Amino acid sequence: MDSYERYSGDCVYLRLLTELDTDALLAFRTQNRDFLRPFEPAQADEHFTKEHVRSLLSRWTAEREADASYSFGIFESGSEQLAGTIRLSGIVRGAFQNAMLGYALAENLGGQGRMTEAVRLILEIAFGPLQLHRVQANAMPRNVRSLRVLEKNGFRREGYAPRYLCINGGWEDHICCAITVEDYEIIRFGRFRL
């Protein structure tokens, strides 16, 4: 998978993030810091510096090269602006062929279908070029928008995990969701392809 490849939808496209995206990612993270705070682990001020973001992108590149994670920018189709991030991480191969999905979108773009489209595109990548069998995603029960995005993309609820992650300094319950390639192909093609 090349960093210049685009995976395009109607409103957004996905492209792997590289160190060339440092300024855009820093701006996204800084502008949406307060909005994303209730949904993310606590972030120290140093996480909002150019050095930290450059280091983060460098780590994501190394993880991609090791087939451990794939970190994409969500870009607006018209303006080419970075609208958010979406990642497949914690990839386990072998008998599992599984990844965890995480994402974030700019506050001013929520509720317009962009994240639903971005998740649809990342599933095309996960079950296409990456040849995964399963993608998992977890969301806090109060994050209704995120749960709705997952449902629209065919994720099923598989469980409830009390005090699953430390978010913004407190342990938060999460609803555990997943989709397999079989589910995805039935949704996309109306049947499972052999």
pLDDT at site 40: 94
pLDDT at site 189: 78
Say if 32 falls within a structural domain: yes
Distance separating alpha carbons of residues 92 and 100, to the nearest angstrom = 9
Instruction: Summarize the confidence of residues 163-168 as an average pLDDT.
Output: 96
> Does the pLDDT of residue 1 top 80, yes or no?
no
Place of tokens 């993030």: 17
Instruction: Summarize the confidence of residues 37-45 as an average pLDDT.
Output: 94
- Domain of residue 126, residue span: 7-189
How many structural domains are present in the chain? Answer: 1
Instruction: Summarize the confidence of residues 120-127 as an average pLDDT.
Output: 97
Say if 1 falls within a structural domain: no
List 175's β-bridge partners, or say none.
139, 160
CA angle 109, 110, 116 (to 5 degrees): 105
Say if 57 falls within a structural domain: yes
% residues pLDDT > 70 (the chain): 96
Say if 174 falls within a structural domain: yes
The model's pTM: 0.94
Return the CATH number at 179: 3.40.630.30
pLDDT at site 193: 57
> Does the pLDDT of residue 41 top 70, yes or no?
yes
Instruction: Summarize the confidence of residues 145-153 as an average pLDDT.
Output: 97
Say if 91 falls within a structural domain: yes
Tokens of 41: 């682990």
Computed over every residue of the chain, the mean pLDDT equals 95
177 within 8 A of 157, measured Cβ to Cβ:
yes
Instruction: Summarize the confidence of residues 52-74 as an average pLDDT.
Output: 98
| Residue 117: Cβ within 10 Å count | 22
pLDDT at site 72: 98
What's the pLDDT band for 188 if we cut at 50, 70, 90? confident
pLDDT at site 5: 86
Say if 2 falls within a structural domain: no
Say if 194 falls within a structural domain: no
